[in-house]
Amino acid sequence: MEDHAVSGARRRHPTKSELTVRRLSVAVAALAAATLLVAAGVAGQTAPPRPDPAARIAPTLSTPPAPATPATTAPEPATARPTPAPDPTTVPKAADGTFTTAKSTSDRLGQAGTVITYRVEVEDGLGLKLSRFTRAVDATLGDRRGWTATGTRSFRRTPDAALRVVLASPATTDRLCAPLRTRGEVSCRNGNDVVINAKRWVQGVDSYDNLGKYRQYVINHEVGHALGFNHQPCPAPGAKAPVMLQQTLGLDGCAANPWP
């Protein structure tokens, strides 16, 4: 009876609004399915890297390279000054007969009194340095133990002074000292010439065991003559020798002394 009732019943058709609702449902379902498929496909891929902010400031090929740090160069070792050659121990008997004069002017040597000017010359061809001889003369005449000690005189070296302090070979010494007889062995003062025999300058004498002190003596002795002082004897055995004693020839019992 129930089968017959169904077959016999009348079938109802959906309304227009129902059909519209069904179509929208199907479209939504299809869109959802498509979205799920895309999401599934994307999920299987690796996510792209995020931009690195540092990459935007990294150097490129057009950026000039940073300057290289210069290599450190080890300083060259300081070159030691060569030791000046010592004066020779012998000099020629005769040299050129011409002279070279110290060109500079010294400070005043001494604090008071009359200024006495002098010039310094060395004979050419001796092999002795003008600068060394000049320093020795200046130091001796300017020493407080010397001729400036009394305060009545001082000295200054100039290249054109009348008084000459000359270092000369034995032969030239004999010529400049004539008519005094120096015989190539000793020094002299003759007029405005104070002549130091180069043989004595480099060899000294037996009465002095110190060449530097003998050089001081011979300068002071011969300049003393130019100042007007004469020879003096030894006052007593063992006494200090007067600078105007002829100490080159011997001490006569006195002790060597280079100062006035």
Answer yes or no: is 55 within a domain: no
Answer yes or no: is 62 within a domain: no
What pLDDT is attached to residue 6?
37
Which CATH number goes with the domain that contains 109? 3.40.390
Answer yes or no: is 152 within a domain: yes
What pLDDT is attached to residue 34?
45
Answer yes or no: is 38 within a domain: no
pTM over 0.85: no
Answer yes or no: is 70 within a domain: no
Per-10-residue mean pLDDT of the chain, 260 residues long, equals 40 53 50 44 44 37 46 56 72 97 97 97 97 98 97 97 98 98 98 98 97 98 98 98 98 98
Q: End-to-end alpha-carbon separation of the chain, Å? A: 174
CB 243 within 8 A of CB 224: yes
Q: Which residue has the tokens 């300017």?
A: 142
Please state the domain count of the chain.
Answer: 1
Quick: pLDDT tens for 171-202. 999 999 999 999 999 999 999 999 999 999 99
Answer yes or no: is 117 within a domain: yes
Cα 174 to Cα 185: distance, rounded to the nearest angstrom: 9
- Report how far apart, in Å, the C-alpha atoms of 213 and of each of 18, 26, 28, 219, 243 are: 143, 133, 128, 10, 12
What pLDDT is attached to residue 8?
42
Nearest one of 256, 239, 260 to 247, comparing CA atoms = 256
Answer yes or no: is 116 within a domain: yes
Give residue 119's domain range.
Answer: 99-226
Answer yes or no: is 191 within a domain: yes
